């Protein structure tokens, strides 16, 4: 099952995905995530010019794999659609749930975060933590943290029910 999370910049999308990942993992789910990066100039790379992986790609490699002791990084030198990405994730990690951040325009079930107009396939409106200071974390604000926890637990329950009923969720 794949679920998108969308909202304005600094609305708490990453904070929510972190909390959902931790909670779902604690409940025994295998979770993978996708981060859509909407860079201002339309160009962004995780690779660093002048490093060995960059030289490999600069020479023409379509995919460069960096194998480290603690992780493996795949750098594919072209964009992929969500179906291709989820197929690859499924092959590598066999997740129960994929959470995709900032994928408002993709045809998957979605969670709207914060004060944003809902788009097609929105399945849950999450107000999350709202502070006057712009922080997306309720630390130090006990009343807001309690409200956010109640809403968060409702969301977790909703996701768990979706994952049990594959007819209501897009399966990968």
Q: How many angstroms separate the CA atoms of 82 and 34, rounded?
A: 9
User: Quick one: pLDDT band at residue 58, thresholds 50, 70, 90?
Assistant: very high
pTM value?
0.82
**Any idea which residue has 């977790």 for tokens?**
156
Tokens of 112: 């709207």
- For residue 135, being part of any structural domain is answered with yes
Instruction: Write out the residue range of the structural domain in which residue 110 sits.
Output: 2-42+79-168
Cα 112 to Cα 52, 70, 124, distances in angstroms? 40, 34, 6
128 versus 52: the higher-pLDDT residue is: 52
Q: Is the four-CA dihedral 40, 36, 73, 33 of positive or negative sign?
A: positive
- For residue 67, being part of any structural domain is answered with no
- For residue 71, being part of any structural domain is answered with no
Give the pLDDT score at 95.
95
Mean pLDDT of 15-44: 89
Q: How many angstroms separate the CA atoms of 139 and 131, rounded?
A: 10
Tokens of 166: 């594959």
- For residue 111, being part of any structural domain is answered with yes
Give the pLDDT score at 31.
96
CATH code for the domain of 116 = 3.40.50.300
Q: How many angstroms separate the CA atoms of 90 and 32, rounded?
A: 9
Give the pLDDT score at 60.
94
Give the pLDDT score at 171.
38
Per residue in 61-104, pLDDT tens?
999 999 999 999 999 988 899 999 999 999 999 999 999 998 88
Give the number of domains in the chain.
1
- For residue 61, being part of any structural domain is answered with no
Q: Is the pLDDT at 124 greater than 50, yes or no?
A: yes
- Map residue 12 onto helix, strand or coil: coil
Q: How many angstroms separate the CA atoms of 172 and 25, rounded?
A: 19
């Amino acid at each position: 099952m794949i679920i998108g999370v969308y909202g304005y910049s600094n609305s708490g999308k990453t904070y929510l995905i972190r909390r959902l990942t931790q909670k779902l993992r604690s409940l025994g789910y295998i979770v993978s995530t996708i981060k859509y990066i909407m860079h201002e100039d339309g160009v962004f790379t995780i690779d660093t010019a002048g490093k060995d992986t960059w030289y490999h790609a600069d020479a023409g490699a379509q995919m460069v794999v960096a194998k480290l002791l603690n992780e493996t990084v795949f750098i594919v030198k072209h964009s992929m659609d969500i179906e291709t990405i989820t197929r690859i994730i499924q092959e590598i990690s066999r997740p129960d749930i994929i959470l995709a951040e900032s994928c408002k325009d993709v045809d998957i079930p979605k969670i709207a975060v914060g004060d944003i107009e809902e788009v097609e396939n929105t399945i849950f409106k999450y107000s999350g933590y709202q502070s006057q200071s712009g922080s997306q974390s309720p630390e130090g604000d006990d009343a807001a943290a309690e409200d956010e926890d109640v809403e968060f637990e409702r969301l977790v329950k909703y996701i768990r029910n979706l994952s049990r009923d594959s007819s209501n969720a897009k399966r990968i």
